[in-house]
Amino acid sequence: MIKIFNTYSRSLEVFEPHLPGHVTMYVCGPTVYDVAHLGHARTYVAFDAVIRFLEFMGYRVKYARNVTDVGHLRETGEDRMIVGAERLRKHPMEVADKYMMEFFRDMDALGIRRPDIQPRASMHIPEIIEAVEKLVDKGYGYVIDGSVYFDISKFTDYGKLSNIKPEELLMHRIDPDPRKKNPADFALWKESPPSYPFSWKTPWGRGFPGWHIECSIMSMKYLGEQIDIHGGGQELIFPHHENEIAQSEALTGKKPFVKYWMHTGELTVGGRGMHKSYGNFITIQDALKTYPSDVLRLFILSAHYRTPLDYSEKAMEQAAENFEKLINFFENLSLIAEEGRPKPRDPSLDELSNVFKQSFVEAMSEDFNTPNALATVYDFIKKVNTRLDVIGHEQATHLRQLFLETCRALGLLQKIERRSSAAEVMEFVKMLVEVRRELRKRGMYDLADRIRSMLAERGIMLEDTKEGERIRIVR
């Protein structure tokens, strides 16, 4: 039984998707006018863990994450894509392509499962125009010159997601057109100035779509009128998601648009929100130059997705240390597994494995509590580590398998098989071990010890046992 904290009800609810065993999920994607930063990493890694855990539990997840390449305005009213285009002196769609490709690469580099569909806003202009026409026909939309606004007073539940009160709404209005019926009415469609690079023909003249209607149309086109999970950063609750609900439910005749709303907490750097002017703006690419993606992921999952998360060197060092714990555990189990060391099965380890798996699932089932889930992993490692000497190769293989499957339900250690260097290096390590053995036979202990300490300097420990040398990696 999985429970999800639903922003809509502000409470934990038992997860029951519309179609048993199947999950439809939409997460608002980036506006591709600049490189993706740690805030994006946090949101998409957090939802990646959600998806992977659902799949681990046997659900089939249909996941859509859009790419916004038009219509997402700044509070000052400029289209972000055009801001990017002016900065790079390129066509806005060239800017979109550049950052979309970099975003895809960043997501791949972070090991994030690819969405089943990644709709681009500009692919849906005709559908959006049709939807705006329909909203006007139904009386929810009204035209002022070439722009179309959504009349929030017509949608009685307006504000039900964010719980924002009418007087607060005034503080949030982006578009100060005094002719609007209600100050907080938002744009479905905007008239464009002449020779504007984004401009499509409509019954109201030439213009471009509003950001909110894009997500309503794209999510419903690919996932249906009623979606199981819709997510994003918490800053999207209002106005973006509030407006999505209003538009979508106005279009479908008040069918509940989304069953579970999920929102990720803020990522801060050095205690404050990331901002270029604060000098604490960190891109995913930069972070990945310093840390392997698993370290970044461990850092992100070390906090529950709804809580704030602060990026600091100290926090990253902690994550790097935890990563070493995982890797060493994996490598040491691999060494035993490959060594061919027959030992009787230790039933207490089977028991330990069962307890581990169960407590991991319990932690994740409680609103995807990744810090608790990771704690069960570390505990498992600690307990198995005390028994590495008594484990035979068969049981080591099983433990490694369980460990990997569990890590991968969090998206960790996906690429470990590709650490081919380790295997290649190990060949040469084994040569050194062989030479050392021969040296010891011949009584040349000084040179044998030198080999041992050269290896130790590189984190490769040799222990002489009755059964021969045991190699253990402590890097």
The contact set with its own copies (CB under 8 A) reads: 90-91, 93-94, 97-98, 101, 104-105, 108, 114-120, 122-123, 125-126, 130, 200-201, 222, 420-421, 424-425, 427-429, 431-432, 435, 438-439, 442, 444, 447, 450-451, 454-455, 458
DSSP H helical ranges for 255-312: 284-290, 293-301
Q: Is 263 annotated as belonging to a binding site? A: no
Query: What phi, psi does 28 have (nearest 5°)?
Result: -65, 125
CB of 429 to its own copies, least distance (A): 6
Which three-class secondary structure state does DSSP give residue 323?
helix
The nearer residue to its own copies, 46 or 64, going by C-beta atoms, is 64
The nearer residue to its own copies, 118 or 216, going by C-beta atoms, is 118
Cα four-point dihedral sign 352, 354, 359, 360? positive
Which three-class secondary structure state does DSSP give residue 404?
helix
Q: At what angle do helices 92-109 and 80-88 cross, to 10 degrees?
A: 100
Q: Where are the beta strands (DSSP E) in 57-129?
A: 60-65
CB of 116 to its own copies, least distance (A): 6
Closest of 472, 15, 450, 12 to residue 228, by C-alpha: 15
How far apart CA 475 and CA 473 sit, in angstroms, is 6
Q: Is 276 annotated as belonging to a binding site? A: yes
Say how far residue 294 (Cα) sits from the centre of its chain.
12
Spatial CB neighbours of 276, under 8 Å, sequence gap ≥ 6: none
The nearer residue to its own copies, 4 or 433, going by C-beta atoms, is 433
In one-letter notation, the amino acid at residue 135 is L
Kind and range of the H or E run holding 141: strand 141-144
Can you give the C-alpha Rg of the chain in angstroms? 27
The nearer residue to its own copies, 158 or 222, going by C-beta atoms, is 222
CB of 119 to its own copies, least distance (A): 7
CA atoms within 13 A on the CB side of 342: 0
N-to-C CA span, the chain = 39
Kind and range of the H or E run holding 13: strand 11-14
CB of 112 to its own copies, least distance (A): 12
Q: Exposed/middle/buried for 104, CB within 10 Å: 0-12, 13-18, 19+?
A: middle
Q: Is 407 annotated as belonging to a binding site? A: no
Interstrand relation of 205-209 and 186-191 (parallel, antiparallel or unpaired): antiparallel
Q: Are 150 and 243 in contact (CB under 8 A)?
A: yes
Copy the structure tokens of residue 33: 């006018």
CB of 198 to its own copies, least distance (A): 11
Q: Is 28 annotated as belonging to a binding site? A: yes
Residue 21: CB atoms within 10 A of its CB come to 8
Q: Is 244 annotated as belonging to a binding site? A: yes
The nearer residue to its own copies, 103 or 356, going by C-beta atoms, is 103
CB of 447 to its own copies, least distance (A): 6
Q: How far is CA 309 from CA 241, 302, 472, in A?
A: 22, 9, 35
Quote the Cα angle for 261-263-267, to 5°.
175
Please state the residue numbers annotated as binding site for Zn(2+): 28, 215, 240, 244
Binding residues, as ranges, are 28, 215, 240, 244, 276
Residue stretches of the annotated binding site for ATP: 276
